[in-house]
Amino acid sequence: MQTKRIIITGVGVVSPFGTGKEAFINGIETGLYCAQAITRFATGAVRSKEACLIRDENLGDIDPRLARLPAVYRYGLVAAEEALNDSVINLREEEKDRLGIFYGTACNTEQSVQYHLTLTERGPNSVSPLMFQNTTYMAGPGIISIRNGITGPAIAIPGGYSAGLQALDIAVSYLLSGYIDRALIVGAEEVTRLQHEALSSLKLLSPTRNDTEEISRPFDADRDGMVLGEGAGALMLEVSGNAKEPGKKVYAELVGIGITHDAYRTADVSPDGRGLEHSMRAALTNADEDPQSVDYIAAAANSTRIFDNAEVAAIQKLFGLGNKTPVSSIKSMIGETSAAGAIFNVVAAVFAIANSFLPPTINYKNHDPECDVDCVPNTARPQVVKFALANACSFGGSCGTVALKAFA
């Protein structure tokens, strides 16, 4: 990847911390926990009652015509337009076909759930004429393209929790091929009733027991499941030459990527962590680096036994037992945000490099011998970060890792 260098020049975030990258940086530096009661749908007998949600009023002024869009596409649009503005590019009309949009998401929308219920209960004549445009995965990249006049490739990747990194991988291929000059990558997700109930039935969500708080606490010995989250992260990638251009803002350089599958079970992850081990190894090989060069890992760990243990197993295989490379999970603060979480992890690693600090794993109290890593417990840590990895992993075995460096 060194003949053409891929740089990150824009960042956009809609997260449970608030809208904008500054709210995200403040949240991961201060260790803000974002869980709140779910009110958008009835939780009924479901064991989990909380999630890390986006408040619509935090999205700012949005075209009233877009208010009918599913939440996930509104989140993606706001994050994408922040990344576009942050990159300070003024695209001429003839350049707009040289910018691609690559949009990853894992689950469908709450509107899709409601459309299905209406269809089955009342029949086809009762369904809104907006059903098609509000249920197609192409609505995400499509609305960004239409709003901004972008005529390059617009691609939707419905690839599970790793979809954000799958989108990133495809974008890098397009950039390196010379087909486009810039790529806008979005990972977006909304919490839906269907997703919430499905994961609850698998006993993967942290429960409410005797009025105790539901807690996302990756790596902790007492973790009892994840708390769902939502939002969108966006990155602007560009091709650069071999030297830093005067005056150009560059957050970090993307130097490697690995996308793998653990070939284990359709709704599980391999306990030995082989998928993430393979993706981390591939990203390091792609970057021409070894594990000893890594200053920080933004973890996929989401407070479930299987996820956290598998990731630690992968790290121990690749880095060696007793290795103390810092490994923290921002999902302790904003929950399992699915496809958005893949990009959120990249953003966290980018700002670890740009701002010289390690995001913490909050809610951490009790050491788990099976998760023997330096998880940066509870408080952010000042540290120079020159090289970082960002992981993603999905139930079903899809894994991804991005390698990032300070750009010089």
| Residue 93: alpha-carbon gap to chain centroid | 31
Q: Which domains does the chain possess?
A: 5-405 (3.40.47.10)
CB hemisphere CA count around 72 (13 angstroms): 32
- DSSP-derived pairing of the beta strands 252-261 and 231-240: unpaired
Q: How many CB atoms lie within 10 A of CB 45?
A: 7
Q: What is the Cα–Cα distance from 24 to 12, expressed in whole angstroms?
A: 10
Q: State both tokens at 404.
A: 């990032």
Give residues with Cβ within 8 angstroms of 82, minimum separation 6: 10, 11, 12, 13, 19, 20, 21, 234
pLDDT computed for residue 167 by the predictor: 97
Q: What residue type is assigned to position 108 of the chain?
A: N
pLDDT computed for residue 2 by the predictor: 47
- pTM of the prediction? 0.95
Q: State both tokens at 147.
A: 């709003």
Closest CA to 31 of 348, 257, 404: 348
Q: What is the Cα–Cα distance from 72 to 92, expressed in whole angstroms?
A: 29
Q: What residue type is assigned to position 111 of the chain?
A: Q
| Residue 72: alpha-carbon gap to chain centroid | 13
Q: In tens digits, what is the pLDDT along the chain, a chain of 408 residues?
A: 447 899 999 999 999 999 999 999 999 999 999 999 999 889 988 889 999 999 876 676 667 777 778 999 999 999 999 999 999 887 777 789 999 999 999 987 888 878 777 888 888 888 788 888 778 889 999 999 999 999 999 999 998 899 999 999 999 999 999 999 999 999 999 999 989 999 999 999 999 766 667 899 999 999 999 999 999 999 999 999 766 677 778 999 999 999 999 999 988 999 999 999 999 999 999 999 999 999 999 999 999 999 999 999 999 999 998 889 999 999 999 999 999 999 999 999 999 999 999 999 999 999 999 999 999 999 999 999 999 999 999 999 999 999 999 998
Give yes or no for a contact between 152 and 100, defined as CB atoms under 8 angstroms apart: yes
